[in-house]
Structures are given as C-alpha cells and as structure tokens.
C-alpha cells in the first residue's frame, strides 16, 4: 500500500520499519526531521508537514506521545484532515483519550475520510521484532482496507467492531490492568520482605503459579530488583494513561476506585521526581510506605 | 509414611485421597464423621479425636476453614500437640493468620515436635487431580522429613526457608494478587461495557495479551458472564483472606491500600448477601457502581 | 459603583440583588432573559449580550455553572474581554478550574483589564440574606477597587494575595473539606446504625462535640434523615467540583487519595441516577454498601 | 459515692482527681504504684490489685490503654469481676473494641454486676479542667446509679441507650470523624501550598468558614505549622483506634473505605517511625506525597 507514517519516536520508528519491511511504500513525517534519516536511507520519502505526508496515500498512521501532539498533526491547514484524500484512512495508533478519538472520528467522517483507532500493546523492543499486538476498531470498510498494514505491525490483531473509540478504551483498560498488577506486586512484596521472605523467593513462587505470563514475570522481576532505570515505560506516561482511564470513566459515569489509587500513586512518583523511571516504581513506593530501605 | 489427616472438607478430602493414592498409610479425623466414610472405604482408619489421630504417626496434616478451627484441633487435651510424639511433624495446610502460624511454631517447638506451614494454591478440582501447588516453609529437617507427603499433594512444591510463617505470608500474598486481578477486571469491564465493548470481546483481547495465564482467563470469563454461582471460592472466604492480609500488614507495619480496597469491596458483597457467591462477584459490584444492569 | 452582573441562576440572582440593595448601579445579562425580570423591576438594566453588559462599567461580576459557561461569556466578540474598558475589572465568582482562572488572568492582563477571582461559600438562601463568605485574590489594585462590591455580597471577605488562582484553589479546597465530612458522616452513621445506635442519637452526640459548627450540624441532619431532596447542592455539581480538585492536584502534582475517594463516590451517585439529589447522598451510599435498607 | 479507679495514666489521673474533687470516696489501683502517689496524698486509698480495689465499692471506673490492659484487670482471680459485689457497677471509660465491650457486658451480667460503657472525648488537659464529654450506654438502672460519677468527670454526658456497646461505637465513630478531618486538611493544604497559598492563609479562610469549631481550628493550626511534637494524641494510638473502627465495621459488615484510607496512612506514619508524633502527622504525609519539603 501507499502509506504515510507520522511520529517517529522509538515506537513509531520501529513500526514504520515494519511497514517498509512488509513491502509498503512509505512517506514519513516527524517534527524533528533527523529522526527520519534511517527510514529515508531505507527508501522512505520524508515530508515537511503532516499535510504533505497525507496527500496521495491510501492511509496515514499516527503514533504520537499524547492528545496535544495528535491534535497538532491532525487539525489545521498543515494537518492530516486537510491533506488526506476522500476515502483514504487515518489509522491512529497513539494512546489517546476516548474523547479525542471521538472527535477524530467525527472530523474524518465530515471530510469523507476513513478513521480507524488501532493502538498497540508492546514496548519498542516488541515493535522492532514485530511482536506488537494491535487492537483495532472502526467502520468495517476502513478496517478491511487497512488490514494488510495492521497485520504488518505486529503478531496479531484484535478487532473490536464499528466504533473506533472501543479500541482506545481497550488499550486504556489493558494498561490499567497491567498497572493494577504493579501495585499488587508492590504491596505483596513489601509484605513479604517485612515477613522475611526475599523478593526473589516471592517471584519464584509466583512464576510457578501464574506461569507463562511474560508480562507478570517481567514486572515481578523489576520490582524485586528495584530495577527501574532505564524505563521501559515511564511513570509519567503511566500517570498520563491512568488519567485518561479516569477521564473516560468520568465521561461514561464509571467509578473506578482502583484506577484512582493507581493514578494517585503514579502522581506521587512524578511529584517526588521519579517520573522518568519505569512505572513499576510504584512497587517501590509500597515498600517505602512500609518503612523499608531501598535495595542498594 | 504413617500419616494423619485432619479436616475433610472438599479440599481436605481430595488431598487425603492423594496421600492414599501415593501409598501412604492414613488415619483421618473430621468433626462430622460421615465425611470420613469414603476414605475409610479406601483403607484409611478413622479416629475419634484429633489427639487420637496424631498418635503413632510421623506427620499430621491439617486442612481447616479458619484460625478457630485450627486452634480447636491443635490445643487442649484432645488436640494435636497433646497427641503427637516428639519428633513427629504438624503440616499445616490451612489458610490461616500469620500470628497463628507463629503460635503453632512456638507450641510445637516447646513440645519438641516439628512444624511445617504448607498452604496450597488451587481449588477442589485441582486437589482431586493432584494439580495443587504447595508453598512450604519450616525447619530444614522437618521439611526434609515431609517432602514425600508434600510432593504427593500436588504438581510442585516451592520452599521458602526456615521460618514457617513465610509460607503463610506467601499464600496470603498470592490470594491478594488474584483478588487484585478480579477488581481490575471488574472495573475495566464496567468501563468497556459502558463504551459499547461487549465483555466477551474484552476477554478476547486480554487472552491474546496475557496469553496462557489460566487463572486470568478463568476469572475474566466468570466476570464477563457474571457466572458467580456455584462459587469456586466464596466471597466470604475471600473477605476473610483479605482480612488476614491486612492483619499481617498491620502486625508488620505494611500499609496496603489496594488490600484495603479489596477488603472493603468483598465486605460490601458480604453485607448485601452475596457472601456465598464466587469472590469474582466484586467485578459485578464495579458494574453496579457504574449503574449497569445485571446481565440476565 | 457602576456594575454588570452576568449569570442569574439562583445564586447569581440573589447576589445581584444584594448589589442593588447596597446602592450599586447594575446592568445584568443572562442567557435566558426571563431570569432578569425581577432585577429589571428593581431598577437594573438588562443587556442582550455579555459584551454589551460589560461596556461602561467599573466591574463585571460573573456567576455561572461551569468552565464552559464562563468561557462562553468571556471570550469571542460577544464576550467580556471584548466589551470591558481598559482598567475595568472582571470579578469571577463561579467555581471554576484553576486552569481557566489562569487563562482569564492572562487574557484580561493582555487587554489591560483587571481580574479578581472571588468565589463564594454559601447556598442560595445565604446569598439572599447576605450571609455568603467571599474568598478573593488578584492584583492589589484590582482588589482595592472592587472591595465595596465584594463586601456587598456577603458577611465577610478573605483576601488571599496577588495571584487570582489562589482564591479558586481555596474554594475548591473548602468544598473538598465539606465533602470529606459528608463521607465521614455517612460511614460513621452506617456503622452506628448497624450497632443499633439511631442516627438521631449519633447526631446528638456529635453536636455536643463539634458544637456550633452549623455546616456540620446541617449535613449530619440531612444524612441522618436521608433528606436529599430538594438539593441544596447537587451531587452532580459536587462531582464536578471534586473533578476540579483532582484536575488541580494533577496539574500541581499533588496526589489526593481522599479526593479520589469522594470523586468516585459522587460519580457512583451520578451513575445510578442520583445526580440531582443533594450531594450528602454519598452518606446514603455508605449505608447501602453496608446492606442497610433506605429509611422510609 | 464509694468508688474505685483503675488506670492512672495522664487521662486516668486527671479523671480520678475530678472524682475526688466532687467529694467521692476513692480507692485507686495502677500497675505501677508510683502513679498513685499524688492521689494518695489527696486522700485516696491505694489498692494492691484490681480485685482489692473493687471490693466494697459501688462502682469501679477503668481507664486503660487498650483491650489487653482492660482484660488483664477485669478477668482472672485478681480481677474486677472476681472482686466486685453483686449490684456494683463497672464503668469502662477506655477506648476499646466493640467486641471486648460485649464480652464485658456478658461477664458482668453473669456475675450479677452492672456494666456501663462510658468513653470520653477530650485530652488530658480537658480531663484536668473537667471539660471532658462523656458518652455513656448500658442498662438504665446501672446508668442511673452512676450518673453522679459520670457528671463529675466532665462538662456533659450523652446517653445512648441500653446497649453498652453503643457508647463504644460512638467513641470510635467520633475519633474516625476527627481523623477524616486531619486527612482532608492535610490534602487540602498540600494543594494550597503547591498553588502558592500559605498554610496560614488557608487556615484563616477556614476559620472564617467553619467558625467556632475548636477541634477544627486546633488541628488546622497543627498541620499548618507542622507542629507534631509533643503529641496531644499519638499517631500509634490513632492507628489503633482506626483499627478498632475497621474491626467493628468488619464484625457488623460495614465497608468503610475512608476508615481504610486513614488506617493505611496512620500505619504508614508508624512504619516510618512517626508513631509517637501527634496523629495530625498524616497531614505531613500528604505534603510529602506531593513532593513538598518539610517546613523548617
């Protein structure tokens, strides 16, 4: 397919790479152009604006940091809506608010363009090895047209129906479930340590029990070792995502006390200057509340 | 080995069965004697008191409902401490408080008897098919002596060192992590449903992500279907266990806000008359807080 | 003073009345003009737009439902910024977000206009009897100029310094402390009722203890009688205010777990259809979680 | 009346003093006898055991630190039940669990003795100046007989009916409401400080609003100044009391999420070594979670 890719951070670069590897023709755009260099060398064309990137393609994929970044490349005269041809599709892979996803759906529908929400689960290393999992939703015809590109991004795709925002909710819900696990592990290990059980022994028991859940084992290990740098996913981003979960809950009238607890703890991590550490650092907060010294 | 088994509820009966199948010689005791009948038919001797059961055996296993039940068979003239020979071992598999486990350790040490805490993970069906996971701790020589019996109970044993209470903490921590998952799933599905994502679709996404974690899939399915009866593990027992978690946290000075949240929600389930439903019913509470009607 | 008043809900009408009674000259504006009728009869001029109301006055007071309403009368060609003369002051009495207060401060400064945040504590009946308490902040010269009008609104004024947003934070903090009292009373009375203590007896004890705090006594009485309609302050507005508290906390990196708890409970009240009841209805939620039947 | 007083800590000594001043005849007992010296000089007789103190009196008042201390002076051959004449009354003023109060009621009823629960609100300085508030409950005839002594203890008495435990619940509920205020003030001031509002200014606003509530003003001042030593009421005791609140809630099936939050925060204070500071120190925890430096 003839595709555009906007947003070349560590996730976006690897995803764009996957699309090239799958044989798609690619034009890319990033606010700071240097990030596009290695893709240019692999054959991608580099555009100077999001609008320019969006012209003459069948679909444009966006992978950006937050709502503000997605808004800035979508709306306005330099944006995607102004550039995209009728019938072409905007595939939004960023973790954004449900409210913005609804606005994007409406804007593209007005412009007779397609819109698919397709956030992904996985970190940059998973993106690089095509191990992402894609959760996609949107009008059936838009999904159908984009399926080759969605399949090129990762190891599988879940489809969640006609309403694009469903995929955003699922992505936020997924991150929420993972964060819940972090808090549970943190409190459980603080208890275990104070009872004289080494964190490593604790991890051993749990790997036996919840066996073969790689996410679980990975995070249990990080919290046991207090290995929060470099971050796989920053606490500040986790805070942002839990904020989006709560915003969606508020808009839909869904009280979520566990999400509130996680947001408060991630916000505490940010407030004390740990926002750039891995979000599993909330496990360390649980230990501190218990008066445990940091592991050296 | 020559063994006694005390407490023939659905878990205990199946575990005693496994010991017989493994070739051990068994004397059993249960407060209501009828529960012993099928084991008697399989060759077990039936004792009239815990004291009588404990005489002339190398080890006695207890599997009872709560602290009070364990105390009643252990202390006093009809109890295990009075009956057990010096050097013989009490293997306590019940989910009990950390404080009681410490008292048991002290009492048996005074009587020159051995003591091993060996709680198990798994439900009655897992007990019946020898799929339990045993978490054991206690003095090395006691553990060594009991290893054949521990291995006969399930598919594996984790050893957690010299201090028996470590195994009790690990068991409570494990149930706490599972309960955290229930709350997380409940809130996440309430959000998804209100956003128009069917719970089944949600479960599909998550099975792809947290693939091959049977506990996760099982509970996600129960909450999605609101299939809380018959209970695999009752909300009232879950409430009790979270109470034990908080009691341990209090004794060791470990604040556990997520455990507090779970205890409050399980207590709400009990207060409204749902104590006999499966503890995943807290997922239903999350839906109700959001104003969602029950699934019919 | 020559004044404008925008927003003639039950609070605003009574406040405008107080200004007339204090001898100020008044022009008023409300989206639905009928609400202005009784003020017109008392001598106020009725404007057709916020812009028109703002011309030729020394200060314009706004008292509106939420951020969106304040934005709509402030910005744009029909708005206050476009209408107000340089040197004239916008006195914002609405309970709005800290972020919007900062935007208002910046916009008026750019237009060389004054800006004072002056939210009020008290309900419509307090407004009608000039018993409001005003919390004001802003540049000293703006405050000085507006003091006669601020004093005309209620029984006292607290000044919080140069930075207008301080007054908004104080207003939100005040509502937060009141909501905390509601939750505390609700849980305490649920416990008391289940222990056989009649809510009225409970209220009696507490009036003796926390004597002479009218807010406390009033709300304790409402929760004891479950007298939630008609609302003095709606649960939906309480939900909104706790949302503003959390938004301020998020922007300033202040984790507020009690505010999160209150927001979740008020959101639950809204989700189940009780948004129009008095916000003390969260006391009823506490009773329901305990399985208590409603008082008939 | 002929009275005994057991437990001569700072509260008990002052209360015993009040009884002497009111003209009652007094025998006293304290585990460490020196504490009785000043009362002996004022005319009190000093007993060597609780049993001895309880003989030949119309009523015995106990004021002790916790459940264990009350149990130790009440039961056993040296205890009150063994010493008290039929018809004489045990007036229990300690802050104890609802469960123990029920046990005391049953034990004294079996021994044909009276029992009144009469916990008090106020600190040692209030006890010394007869400013305590007494909350009493128990069988009408027992209350009637003890009224002169209850009135001698403080400035007023609230009666809560026939069931003694009602007074214990009311005492715990009262401390819970006060602790809720501490947490609310702590979070509100953390928010205010980060928004640039000095804590003192915040206190000023709130004193205007919640005027004339001395408890409120006192604690707002302590948190604003971070003046937590010497403690008026220790965080470790506050932790204990919130534990008793939760235990009562558990026994009666009353979920209390705000009490859980307070217990977790007071437990965190204890875990980090601040158990001997005033319990308003949880206001400091709120500031720390926000990354605020301590006030010097």
Per-residue pLDDT of chain A (296 residues; tens, 9 = 90+): 999 999 999 999 999 999 999 999 999 999 999 999 999 999 999 999 999 999 999 999 999 999 999 999 999 999 999 999 999 999 999 999 999 999 999 999 999 999 999 999 998 989 999 999 999 999 999 999 999 999 999 999 999 999 999 999 999 999 999 999 999 999 999 999 999 888 888 888 877 776 567 777 889 889 999 999 999 899 999 999 999 999 999 999 999 999 999 999 999 999 999 999 999 999 999 999 999 998 86
Number of Cβ pairs < 8 A linking chain C and chain D: 195
Measured CA to CA, the distance from residue C59 to residue C90 in angstroms comes to 6
Q: Across the interface, which of B257, B288, B291 has its CB nearest the CB of C273?
A: B291
- Residues of C (191-230) whose Cβ lies below 8 Å from D: 191-192, 194-197, 201-202, 204-206, 208-213, 215-216
Q: Across the interface, which of A121, A172, A191 has its CB nearest the CB of B248?
A: A191
Instruction: State whether B139 and B190 are in the same domain.
Output: no
In this predicted structure, the answer to whether residue C208 has a pLDDT above a threshold of 90 is no
How would you write B96-160 as a 3-class SS string?
CCHHHHHHHHHHHHHCCCEEEECCEECCHHHHHCCCEEEEEECCHHHHHHHHHHHHHHEEEEEEC
- Are C148 and C172 a contacting pair, CB within 8 Å? no
Question: Is residue A171 annotated as a catalytic residue, yes or no?
Answer: yes
- pLDDT at residue C210, rounded to an integer: 66
How far separated are the first and last CA of chain C, in Å rounded? 52
Residues from chain A contacting residue B170 (CB–CB below 8 Å): 192, 197, 202, 205
Q: In this predicted model, what pLDDT tens digit does every residue of C131-181 receive, in sequence order?
A: 999 999 999 999 999 999 999 999 999 999 999 999 999 999 999 999 999
Residues from chain A contacting residue C246 (CB–CB below 8 Å): 246
Interface test with A, best of D266, D268, D289, D292 (most A CBs within 10 A): D289
Judge if the upstream peptide bond of residue A177 is cis by omega within 30 degrees of 0. Answer: no
pLDDT band (50, 70, 90) for residue C37: very high
- Are B44 and B28 a contacting pair, CB within 8 Å? yes
The verdict on a CB contact (< 8 Å) between B174 and A248 is: no
Instruction: State whether B9 and B154 are in the same domain.
Output: yes
Residue B147 maps to a domain: yes
Q: How far is CA B107 from CA B74, B80, B103, D44, in A?
A: 9, 10, 6, 44
Q: How far is CA B270 from CA B276, B279, D254, in A?
A: 8, 10, 9
- pLDDT at residue A162, rounded to an integer: 94
pTM of the predicted structure, to 2 decimals: 0.93
Instruction: State whether C177 and C245 are in the same domain.
Output: yes
Angle (nearest 5°) at CA A138 between A134 and A139: 140
Token pair recorded at residue B19: 């010991």
Across the range C92-97, mean pLDDT stands at 97
Measured CA to CA, the distance from residue C180 to residue D191 in angstroms comes to 15
Last residue of a domain, one of D128, D163, D198: D163
Number of Cβ pairs < 8 A linking chain B and chain C: 21
D177-189 b/e (C-beta count within 10 Å ≥ 16 → b): bbbbbbbbbbbbb
Alpha-carbon gap: C68 to the closest alpha carbon of chain B (Å): 24
Instruction: State whether D139 and D13 are in the same domain.
Output: yes
Query: What is the pLDDT of chain C when averaged over all its residues?
Result: 94
Residue B232 maps to a domain: yes
Residue C229 maps to a domain: yes
- Residues of D (105-164) whose Cβ lies below 8 Å from C: 121, 133, 135, 156, 158, 160-161, 163
Residue A225: domain span: 169-289
pLDDT band (50, 70, 90) for residue D211: low
Residues from chain D contacting residue C183 (CB–CB below 8 Å): 180, 258
Phi, psi of C44, deg, nearest 5: -80, 150
Token pair recorded at residue B236: 């009232």
Task: Please check whether residue A183 touches B, CB under 8 A.
Answer: yes
Full strand arrangement of the beta sheet holding B120-121: B120-121, B132-136, B154-159
Token pair recorded at residue A98: 């449900």
Instruction: State whether D96 and D225 are in the same domain.
Output: no
pLDDT band (50, 70, 90) for residue D17: very high
Instruction: State whether B124 and B53 are in the same domain.
Output: yes
Supply the ipTM of this predicted assembly. 0.93
Q: Please report where in the chains the tokens 């029920």 appear, as a residue.
A: D102
Q: How far is CA A44 from the centre of its chain?
A: 24
Alpha-carbon gap: D134 to the closest alpha carbon of chain C (Å): 9
Instruction: State whether B154 and B219 are in the same domain.
Output: no
Q: In this predicted model, what pLDDT tens digit does every residue of D36-45 receive, in sequence order?
A: 999 999 999 9
* DSSP output for A185-211: HHHHHHHHHHTT--HHHHHHHHHHHTT
Let me know how long chain D is.
296
Token pair recorded at residue D139: 């069988």
Task: Please check whether residue D268 touches A, CB under 8 A.
Answer: yes
In this predicted structure, the answer to whether residue D214 has a pLDDT above a threshold of 80 is no
Residue A111 maps to a domain: yes
pLDDT band (50, 70, 90) for residue D212: low
- Are D274 and D234 a contacting pair, CB within 8 Å? no
**Closest C-alpha among C54, C104, C43, C110 to residue C80:** C54
Instruction: State whether C124 and C209 are in the same domain.
Output: no
Across the range C78-84, mean pLDDT stands at 97
Residue of chain D with shortest Cα separation from A265: D289
Q: In this predicted model, what pLDDT tens digit does every residue of D195-210 receive, in sequence order?
A: 988 888 888 887 777 6
Q: Across the interface, which of A169, A190, A289 has its CB nearest the CB of B191?
A: A169
Q: Across the interface, which of C246, C250, C271 has its CB nearest the CB of A253?
A: C271
Instruction: State whether A202 and A224 are in the same domain.
Output: yes
Query: What is the pLDDT of chain B when averaged over all its residues?
Result: 94
Instruction: State whether A159 and A174 are in the same domain.
Output: no
Task: Please check whether residue C290 touches B, CB under 8 A.
Answer: yes
Across the range C2-22, mean pLDDT stands at 97
CB atoms within 10 A of CB B32: 7
The verdict on a CB contact (< 8 Å) between C191 and D248 is: yes
pLDDT band (50, 70, 90) for residue B201: confident
**Closest C-alpha among C190, C165, C179 to residue C260:** C179
DSSP letter at D281?
G
In this predicted structure, the answer to whether residue B259 has a pLDDT above a threshold of 90 is yes
Q: Which of D130, D171, D234, D240 is catalytic?
A: D171
Interface test with C, best of D175, D191, D250 (most C CBs within 10 A): D191
pLDDT band (50, 70, 90) for residue B208: confident
Q: Across the interface, which of A250, A270, A271 has its CB nearest the CB of C243?
A: A250
Across the range B66-92, mean pLDDT stands at 97
Phi, psi of A81, deg, nearest 5: -60, -40
Dihedral of the alpha carbons of C149, C152, C156, C159, in degrees to the nearest 10: 0
- pLDDT at residue A295, rounded to an integer: 81
Number of compact structural domains in chain B? 2
Q: How far is CA B59 from CA B91, B151, C88, in A?
A: 7, 14, 90
pLDDT band (50, 70, 90) for residue C1: very high
Residue D295 maps to a domain: no
Alpha-carbon gap: A263 to the closest alpha carbon of chain C (Å): 8
Q: CATH number, domain at A219?
A: 1.10.1040.10
* Percent of chain B that is helix, strand, coil (3-state, to 5): 55, 15, 30
Query: What is the pLDDT of chain D when averaged over all its residues?
Result: 94
Helices (H), chain D: 10-21, 37-41, 50-54, 67-74, 80-83, 98-110, 124-128, 140-153, 165-194, 199-209, 214-225, 235-252, 257-271, 282-289
Judge if the upstream peptide bond of residue C122 is cis by omega within 30 degrees of 0. Answer: no
In this predicted structure, the answer to whether residue D186 has a pLDDT above a threshold of 90 is yes
Residue A294 maps to a domain: no
Measured CA to CA, the distance from residue A28 to residue A7 in angstroms comes to 8
- pLDDT at residue C190, rounded to an integer: 94
**Closest C-alpha among D72, D50, D75 to residue D61:** D50
Q: Please report where in the chains the tokens 């959390």 appear, as a residue.
A: C246
Alpha-carbon gap: B133 to the closest alpha carbon of chain A (Å): 7
Task: Please check whether residue B253 touches D, CB under 8 A.
Answer: yes
Last residue of a domain, one of D106, D130, D163: D163
pLDDT band (50, 70, 90) for residue D244: very high
- Are A36 and A14 a contacting pair, CB within 8 Å? no
Q: CATH number, domain at C151?
A: 3.40.50.720
Instruction: State whether D67 and D34 are in the same domain.
Output: yes
Across the range D30-55, mean pLDDT stands at 96
Across the range D26-47, mean pLDDT stands at 96
Residue C296 maps to a domain: no
C295 against C132, higher pLDDT:
C132
Full strand arrangement of the beta sheet holding A120-121: A120-121, A132-136, A154-159
Alpha-carbon gap: B188 to the closest alpha carbon of chain C (Å): 15
Last residue of a domain, one of B123, B148, B163: B163
In this predicted structure, the answer to whether residue C202 has a pLDDT above a threshold of 90 is no
Instruction: State whether B141 and B244 are in the same domain.
Output: no
Q: How far is CA A3 from CA A89, A142, A146, in A?
A: 10, 14, 10
The verdict on a CB contact (< 8 Å) between B290 and C268 is: yes
Q: In this predicted model, what pLDDT tens digit does every residue of D155-164 receive, in sequence order?
A: 999 999 999 9
């Amino acid at each position: 397919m003839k595709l555009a890719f906007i947003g070349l951070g560590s996730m976006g670069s690897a995803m764009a790479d996957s699309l090239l590897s799958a044989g798609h023709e690619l034009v890319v755009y990033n606010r700071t152009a240097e990030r596009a260099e290695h893709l240019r060398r692999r054959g991608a064309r580099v555009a100077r604006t999001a609008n320019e990137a969006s012209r003459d393609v069948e679909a444009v994929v966006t992978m950006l940091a937050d709502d503000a970044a997605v808004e800035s490349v979508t709306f306005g005269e330099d944006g995607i809506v102004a550039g995209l041809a009728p019938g072409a599709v905007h595939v939004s892979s960023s973790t954004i608010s449900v409210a913005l996803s609804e606005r994007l759906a409406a804007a593209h529908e007005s412009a007779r363009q397609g819109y698919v929400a397709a956030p992904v689960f996985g970190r940059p290393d998973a993106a690089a090895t095509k191990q992402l999992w894609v959760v996609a939703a949107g009008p059936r015809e838009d999904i159908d047209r984009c399926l080759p590109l969605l399949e090129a991004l990762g190891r599988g795709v879940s489809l969640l129906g006609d309403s694009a925002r469903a995929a955003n909710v699922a992505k936020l819900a997924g991150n929420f479930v993972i964060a819940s696990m972090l808090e549970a592990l943190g409190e459980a290990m603080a208890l275990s340590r104070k009872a004289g059980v080494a964190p490593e022994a604790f991890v051993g028991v749990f790997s036996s029990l919840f066996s073969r859940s790689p996410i679980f084992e990975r995070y249990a290990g990080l919290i046991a070792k207090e290995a929060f740098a470099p971050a796989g996913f920053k606490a500040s981003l986790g805070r942002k995502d839990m904020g989006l979960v709560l915003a969606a809950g508020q808009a839909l009238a869904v009280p979520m006390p566990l999400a509130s607890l996680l947001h408060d703890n991630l916000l505490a991590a940010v407030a004390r200057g740990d926002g750039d550490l891995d979000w599993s650092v909330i496990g360390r907060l649980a230990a501190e509340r218990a008066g445990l010294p940091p592991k050296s």
